[in-house]
Chain A
């Protein structure tokens, strides 16, 4: 009963270290391992798991948890989740520790200030790509931009915004020629 959970753990372990940003980069590699190499799921099952992870709240990477569950039940879910989160989490924790110990060091200031333009460029590039590819036409883009304006200029609660966005888009889809 341990063989399957452990091999799930070992497969997701290295992927933990190459996830950067939102984790979209590993979707293809994950499909190769789970579908083509190990035949744990069919392509259709994999795509459904992907759609499910987009449709449920929380980090999209929780898709791994669901794959683990489908392949080997509760232990599979636990080991797959540990594999995908543990290594990167330990590194972040270690760096947070070092950061506090050397508070104010020159290299630390250089990293914080120096990485900022890279972070800003990455975030805005991701947003740009998402805005181009979101499958909701001009209405979805308009909602994203209005939400941005409200977030920058007011103290509106994101949950209110989220519900309004979903409601307006749904109504728009039925009553507007999109």
Chain B
């Protein structure tokens, strides 16, 4: 389980995990995340505490994974696995993230279906879900901090937030239009420079 230093970027040296380490981390995240915010856990563990990816690369991956169909956390597991260890990495991450909780939901559903009827379980889960929201919010702040301080990106950012969060417009149309506008603007900017 020797850890090799692979690169020295601005954010300090990155570390390459073994497949077992990848599996164990995704299993832990799969088994301990309640109420969403899984990607927030990934940022915390993979970038901040373990240094397997740089923060920039993580946010790039998150941005692309959000735009693709599928569940964010599952897409992230595939993407991160592939970046670190190729096809096998993707499969290992998927297995770690999905199989243990899948077994658990079947066990709990059949054997202990009465568990969710104890009020205290529901109350504790609400508290855990609140922390899940905190994880998602801290990730949203991280993304927002990295925006270019220019007119078009900031308008697109504010417009997306307002249209979805306040006006409840359909997500696909809003995200599609916002993406089209801003990606085109960036492409033109990159072509000129």
Separation in Å of the A167 CB from the closest CB of chain B?
A: 7
Q: Is the CB of A61 within 8 A of B71?
A: yes
Q: Is the CB of A69 within 8 A of B109?
A: yes
Cα separation A148 to B40 with both chains bound (whole Å): 11
Q: Is the CB of A52 within 8 A of B153?
A: no
Cα separation A127 to B110 with both chains bound (whole Å): 32
Residues of A in contact with B, size category: 35 or more
Separation in Å of the B133 CB from the closest CB of chain A?
A: 4
Cα separation A146 to B172 with both chains bound (whole Å): 32
Q: Is the CB of A165 within 8 A of B130?
A: yes
Q: Is the CB of A165 within 8 A of B102?
A: no
Cα separation A148 to B136 with both chains bound (whole Å): 8
B residues adjacent to A (C-beta < 8 A): 30-36, 38, 40-41, 44-45, 48-49, 59-60, 62-75, 78-79, 82-83, 87, 90, 94, 97-98, 100-102, 104-106, 108-110, 113, 115-116, 120-141, 143-144, 146-148, 153-154, 156-166, 171-172, 175, 178-179, 182-187, 190-191
Q: Is the CB of B183 within 8 A of A131?
A: no
Q: Is the CB of A151 within 8 A of B147?
A: no
Q: Is the CB of B133 within 8 A of A111?
A: no
Sample of 13 further A-B pairs with CB below 8 A, known A61-B74, A89-B74, A121-B164:
A55-B34, A66-B105, A69-B106, A81-B98, A87-B69, A91-B69, A96-B90, A124-B137, A143-B130, A144-B134, A151-B138, A152-B138, A168-B127
Q: Is the CB of B72 within 8 A of A144?
A: no
Q: Is the CB of A117 within 8 A of B165?
A: no
Q: Is the CB of B59 within 8 A of A116?
A: yes
Which 4 pairs, one residue from A and one from B, show the smallest C-beta to C-beta distance?
A: A58-B101, A169-B127, A88-B70, A121-B160
Q: What is the number of contacts between chain A and chain B, taking CB atoms within 8 Å? A: 334
Contact with A162, one of B34, B82, B158 (Cβ below 8 angstroms): B34
A51 at the binding interface (Cβ < 8 Å): yes
Q: What 0/1 readout, one digit per residue, does chain A (94-130) give for beta carbons within 8 Å of chain B?
A: 0111011000001101111111111111111111111
Q: Is the CB of B73 within 8 A of A122?
A: no
Cα separation A158 to B68 with both chains bound (whole Å): 27
A6 at the binding interface (Cβ < 8 Å): no
Q: Is the CB of B65 within 8 A of A166?
A: no
Contact with B178, one of A20, A97, A109, A121 (Cβ below 8 angstroms): A121
A77 at the binding interface (Cβ < 8 Å): yes
Cα separation A52 to B82 with both chains bound (whole Å): 31
Contact with B130, one of A97, A106, A117, A144 (Cβ below 8 angstroms): A144
Chain A residues, CB < 8 A from B82? 93, 96-97, 100
Known: A117-B157, A131-B133. A85 touches B66 (CB 8 A): no
Chain A residue at minimum C-beta to C-beta distance from B178: A118
A8 at the binding interface (Cβ < 8 Å): no
Contact with A119, one of B38, B66, B105, B158 (Cβ below 8 angstroms): B66
Q: Is the CB of A57 within 8 A of B130?
A: no
Chain B residues, CB < 8 A from A117? 147, 153-154, 156-157, 160, 178, 182
Known: A51-B116, A147-B130. A62 touches B101 (CB 8 A): yes
Chain B residue at minimum C-beta to C-beta distance from A53: B105
Chain B residue at minimum C-beta to C-beta distance from A111: B183
